[in-house]
Amino acid sequence: MITPEIINRINELAKKKKTVGLTDEELTEQTKLRRIYIDNIKIQLKNNLENIELVDDKPTNSTH
What pLDDT score was predicted for residue 35?
Answer: 97
What pLDDT score was predicted for residue 58?
Answer: 76
Domains within the chain, CATH numbers bracketed: 4-49 (1.10.287)
Q: What are phi and psi of 25, to 5 degrees?
A: -65, -40
> Which residues make Cβ contacts (< 8 Å) with residue 16, sequence separation at least 6?
22, 26
What pLDDT score was predicted for residue 1?
Answer: 85
pLDDT tens, the chain, 64 aa long: 899 999 999 999 999 999 999 999 999 999 999 999 999 999 999 999 999 988 887 767 656 5
- Other Cβ atoms within 10 Å of 62 Cβ, number: 6
| Cα-based angle 16, 8, 3 (whole degrees, multiple of 5) | 150
